[in-house]
A and B are shown apart, each in its own frame.
Chain A
Amino acid sequence: MNPIEIMVSYWPRMLDGTLMTLKLTILGALIAGAISPWLALVRSHGSLIAQTPIRIYVSFVRGTPILAQLFLVFYGSGQFRPELMELGLWNFFRDPFNCAILVFVLNSTAYQTEIMRGGIQGVNLGEIEAAKAIGMTRMTILRRVIFPHAYRIAWPALSNEIILLMKASALASVVTVFDIMGRTRQIFSKTFDFSIYLWAALIYLAITSLFVFGWHRIERRLNRHILPRNNANAVS
């Protein structure tokens, strides 16, 4: 079979895999994105006792392979099967998709926490003092001063992290989740046609490129007040 033919006959599976990869990445990044700013706040302003567990968690996640973490959760949960059944959690851990999402969330939360910590610590202290001086409450300061600034600083680094997460999601194929990589291996084991790997590479690159393009558009929007004014027509 030539490369075109193999895609013609297997495109539904590859599309299915692509949707799975997107689902893993987007769900993982969003849940982690909801948790990490709060951990980052604790990490940059909390007491030492509150900071220590977060530090250990981040260090552990960053110091171990994601594949090992995936095996620890997916296969490791089997060791506690009676206990998990009693808690009604066994059905959750039996599904490889859930385990993959759980690991990606734990992983991305650690990385995003570090990125957001950098963003929060980069906020100009004078602006926070000014906000306090005009009588903003702590929540208002967070909402109007700290987070808008922190996200602007952290935005490019967050994009790197989400691309890393997308690449890591290929590991889910090892625990039988049929994402792009899983489908590709399945098709290869059936046809022994090498070109399916090149198609997979192409799909991954296309996702990354589209994502970088979109992310950059949002970055411009976040920074629209400090963009150069010389081509005013382009900025609207």
Chain B
Amino acid sequence: MLELFSYGDTGWGDEILMGLATTMKLAVATLPVGMIIGFLIAFAAMSGIRAVRYVGVGYTTIMRGLPEILTLFVVYNGAGLLLNSLIKWWNPEAEGTDFSPFLAGVIALAMVFGAFAAEVIRGAYNSLDKGQIEAAAAVGMTPQQTFWRIKLPQLWRFALPGIGNLWINMLKDTALVSVIALDDLMRMTKVAVGVTKQPFTFYLVACLIYWVLCVLSEMILSRMERHANRGVRRA
């Protein structure tokens, strides 16, 4: 049993670890992109210009209503077609290329993450204490100073629980990229199943690995939350 998971040519331990590395790389690459999209969309949804506000609200509404796997296929196939037609337009003799599944995964996951993050950020922004912002203006801070010194540190505190949940959801959603031929944990498990004919054992191990990742994330997040709230007076 255990030699199935050993490290080396006979076991699948190294293959599964490599898949896990791809999964982690994907999740870590998606996080900053998703946060940037989230901030942009949140500010768009709160904008004073009506057209921009509609774009922001429309984006969150649509992206949150679509299955993640549909978004992934739209990005993967759509961007692939777009890229190929661009190449054809540039150089009609060129061969068609495949859009990188890793990039498609990052873009699709970040688009979904960003839509949900925008709502979290917007909620956090609305929880900011108005009096503090007025106080900042009263002592003569510029809007930029107010943002960096008063708003952002507290935004972090209010948004952290929501963003933490989104991180865990996104970590689980990375499993979807196995469908577009990216060698993540899920796909390496599938490869191992194909050879060993032990589907239950291997998929159970994959599930357990994801479970450990999620539980670890939860533990780290609760420490981060405690740290973020260290200066808050308890009732």
Q: How many residues of B contact A (CB 8 A)?
A: 38
- Closest CB-CB distance, B156 to chain A, in whole Å? 25
Q: CA separation between A136 and B178, bound complex, in Å?
A: 55
Q: Which of chain B's residues 57-90 have a Cβ closer than 8 Å to chain A?
A: 62, 65-70, 73-74, 77-78, 81
Q: Which residues of A contact B153 (CB under 8 A)?
A: none
Indicate with 1 or 0, residue by residue over A150-191, a CB within 8 angstroms of chain B CB atoms.
Answer: 000000000000010011111101100000010011001000
Q: Is the CB of B66 within 8 A of A68?
A: no
Residue of A78, A167, A185 near B73 (CB, 8 A) is A185
Known contacts A78-B199, A194-B77; A64/B211 CB under 8 A: yes
Interface check A11, CB cutoff 8 A? no
Interface check A71, CB cutoff 8 A? yes
Pick out which of these stretches binds chain A: B103-111, B120-128, B200-208. B200-208
Q: Which residues of A contact B215 (CB under 8 A)?
A: 59, 63
Q: Which residues of B contact A71 (CB under 8 A)?
A: 186, 189-190, 199, 203, 206
- Closest CB-CB distance, B75 to chain A, in whole Å? 10
Known contacts A163-B65, A194-B78; A65/B200 CB under 8 A: no
Indicate with 1 or 0, residue by residue over B14-47, a CB within 8 angstroms of chain A CB atoms.
Answer: 0000000000000000000000000000000000
- Closest CB-CB distance, A102 to chain B, in whole Å? 14
Q: Is the CB of A79 within 8 A of B70?
A: no
Residue of B67, B186, B210 near A181 (CB, 8 A) is B67
Q: Which residues of B contact A215 (CB under 8 A)?
A: none
Interface check B224, CB cutoff 8 A? no
Q: Which of chain A's residues 43-59 have a Cβ closer than 8 Å to chain B?
A: 59
Q: Which residues of B contact A62 (CB under 8 A)?
A: 214
Interface size class of A (residues with CB under 8 A): 35 or more
Residue of A65, A72, A201 near B66 (CB, 8 A) is A201
Q: Is the CB of B66 within 8 A of A205?
A: yes
Interface check B198, CB cutoff 8 A? yes
Q: Is the CB of A64 within 8 A of B207?
A: yes
- Closest CB-CB distance, B25 to chain A, in whole Å? 17
Interface check B191, CB cutoff 8 A? no
Q: Is the CB of A76 within 8 A of B200?
A: yes
Residue of B65, B173, B200, B213 near A79 (CB, 8 A) is B200
Q: Is the CB of A167 within 8 A of B68?
A: yes
Q: Which residues of B contact A163 (CB under 8 A)?
A: 65
Interface check A75, CB cutoff 8 A? yes
Q: Which residues of B contact A198 (CB under 8 A)?
A: 74
Q: CA separation between A130 and B197, bound complex, in Å?
A: 60
Q: Is the CB of B210 within 8 A of A65?
A: yes
Interface check A98, CB cutoff 8 A? no
Q: Which of chain A's residues 72-125 have a Cβ closer than 8 Å to chain B?
A: 72, 75-80
Known contacts A63-B215, A79-B198; A68/B67 CB under 8 A: no
Which of A64, A75, A76 has most B Cβ within 10 Å? A64
Q: Is the CB of A181 within 8 A of B69?
A: yes
Interface check A147, CB cutoff 8 A? no
Q: Is the CB of A67 within 8 A of B207?
A: no
- Closest CB-CB distance, A87 to chain B, in whole Å? 16
A interface residue numbers (CB < 8 A to B) = 59-60, 62-69, 71-72, 75-80, 163, 166-171, 173-174, 181, 184-185, 188, 194, 197-198, 200-201, 204-205, 208-209
User: Which 5 A-B pairs have CB atoms at the shortest separation, nearest pair first?
Assistant: A76-B200, A170-B67, A63-B214, A65-B175, A75-B199
